[in-house]
Structure 1
């Protein structure tokens, strides 16, 4: 799976949120400064070519929808990052993340609960 450029990823996030969306709605939902319609159309075309976005014609308008699941996309790229930067060790990545993400005590407690739930699942 190809990685999206930053501008494409930002646009893809809006598509994931709305699931089916027209060009004008993407521009409206985009944070300021709003991009030009031609810019968004170009990004959408590139994202189609990469296999991330599809569309259906409704009259003269295209309604875009995601072809790639958000969790699948980010899982793949996090996996590549773990492989490239942490010697393919999820443990090293988790250690780095918890040490450097500046998590609050409440967030660390919540993370601890998630880890404990995963441990219970694995023991079953």
Structure 2
């Protein structure tokens, strides 16, 4: 698996905490430097392509 960026790692911690979440749920949990909704969606899609996240 590819190494995670700092932002991807931050998002993974949120996803582990929430277990299941929509993009809006993850966005609500981000404290500092909130990305735009579409940017966050792309990051999560990249995590899926890297094999860290599944939408099922």
TM-score normalised by length of structure 1: 0.43
- Over the aligned positions, Cα root-mean-square deviation in angstroms equals 1.0
Give the greater-gyration-radius structure (CA). Answer: 1
SS of the aligned residue for 1:14 comes to helix
Q: 1:36 deviation in Å?
A: 0.6
1:21 aligns with 2:21: yes
TM-score normalised by length of structure 2: 0.90
Which has the larger strand fraction? Answer: 1
Deviation beyond 4 Å, 4+ runs, structure 1 = none
State the partner residue of 2:37. Answer: 37
Unaligned ranges ≥5, structure 1: 57-124
Q: 1:33 deviation in Å?
A: 2.9
Question: Once the two structures are superposed, what CA deviation does each residue of 1:63-92 show, in whole Å capped at 9, x if it has no partner?
Answer: xxxxxxxxxxxxxxxxxxxxxxxxxxxxxx
